[in-house]
A and B are shown apart, each in its own frame.
Chain A
Amino acid sequence: QVQLVQSGAEVKKPGASVKISCRASGYTFTTYPLHWVRQAPGQRLEWMGRINIGNGNTHYSEKLQDRVTITRDTSATTAYVDLSSVGSEDTAMYYCARFNTFGGVVRGGLLDYWGQGTLVTVSS
């Protein structure tokens, strides 16, 4: 079965960087893009960016594009999100999710499997 397993909780000081991993199993890793989504306490889901696993191409949200980097290791079937210069506003649950179009157009795509989430707390 499809599984996305994320790394454990992180506590960071303001100005530091944080890197979270997402290990995929149960499907052909290179077939589906992976997206990263975060959710601050009591807030809506916020899209951060995505990576096309096959060619490594990335696209980031305008809000975070200067601080976020998404990478992947195909041999380890793992994707990573790296967020730099964190502040209190980055305290959130971070999720990876698989993007699927069911063979259709990208604009009809959806996030069909999600990781369990990684809590990042930024505190001095």
Chain B
Amino acid sequence: SYELTQPPSVSVTPGQTASITCSGDNLGDKYVSWYQQKPGQSPLLVIYQDIKRPSGIPERFSGTNSGNTATLTISGTQAMDEADYYCQTWDNNAVLFGSGTKLTVL
């Protein structure tokens, strides 16, 4: 079965750029979305169809997807961005989530 692999944790200092990867076989041939989840909250869509930002999501969030890797990039990371992040794609007629990455803003 298809799998999406993310690093368990990423750390960044405030104001720097954070990059969170999501890997899967030929992932670049699929569409990827990204969700932010803070403790005790429901997931929030931050990137969809690889590169698009929903209304209300800050411009510092961006996405790419090529080859076997999709990447969520947060430029000028702020303390409020500390959260778990999940990638998501569509495979075999089902939604599939990545393993999740905890972003720590030091």
Contacts and interface: CB of A to CB of B under 8 A. Distances in A.
Contacts of B48: 102, 108, 110, 112
Interface stretch (A8-16, A40-48, A70-78, A84-92): A40-48
Nearest to A114: B42
Contact of B88 (A95, A104, A110, A117): A110
Contacts of B45: 110-112
Interface stretch (B13-21, B70-78, B97-105): B97-105
Given A45-B43, A117-B42, A107 B95 contact: no
Contacts of B99: 44
A37 B97 CA distance: 10
Interface string A96-124: 01010010101111111011110000000
B97 A46 contact: yes
Which has the most chain B C-beta neighbours within 10 Å: A50, A102, A106, A108?
Answer: A108
Contacts of A31: none
B97 to A, nearest CB: 4
Interface residues of B, number: 24
Interface SS of chain B: helix, strand, loop or mixed? strand
B64 to A, nearest CB: 16
A119 to B, nearest CB: 11
A35 B54 contact: no
Given A44-B99, A114-B42, A116-B42, A108 B94 contact: no
Given A108-B49, A108-B90, A116-B42, A47 B95 contact: yes
B68 to A, nearest CB: 17
B33 interface: yes
Given A37-B95, A46-B97, A114-B44, 14 more contacts: A35-B95, A37-B43, A44-B98, A45-B88, A45-B97, A59-B94, A97-B43, A102-B49, A107-B30, A108-B31, A110-B48, A111-B95, A112-B54, A116-B42
Interface of B: 30-31, 33, 35, 37, 42-45, 48-49, 54, 86, 88-90, 93-100
